Amino acid sequence: MTTYKVGYFVGSLSKDSINRILSRALLRVAPPELEFQEIPIKDLPLYNHDFDADYPPEGRALKDAIAAVDAVLFVTPEYNRSIPGGLKNAIDWASRPWGTNSFTHKPSAVIGASPGKIGTAVAQQSLRSVLSFCNSPQMNAPEGYIQFVPGLFTPDGEVTDPTTQQFLTDFMADFKTFIERVTTVLPQR
Ligand SMILES: Cc1cc2nc3c(=O)[nH]c(=O)nc-3n(C[C@H](O)[C@H](O)[C@H](O)COP(=O)(O)O)c2cc1C
pLDDT for the residue numbered 189: 67
Cβ of residue 114 lying under 6 Å from some atom of ligand 1: yes
Question: In 3-state terms, what secondary structure has residue 4?
Answer: strand
17 ligand 1 Cβ < 6 A? yes
**Going by CA atoms, what residue is nearest to atom 14 of ligand 1?**
79
The CA 27 to ligand 1 mean position distance, Å, reads 22
Which of 75, 82, 114, 120 has most ligand 1 atoms within 8 Å of CB, for mutation? 114
99-156 pLDDT per residue, tens: 999 999 999 999 999 999 999 999 999 999 999 999 999 999 999 999 999 999 999 9
Q: Whole-prediction pTM value?
A: 0.98
Tens-place pLDDT, residues 20-72: 999 999 999 999 999 999 999 999 999 999 999 999 999 999 999 999 999 99
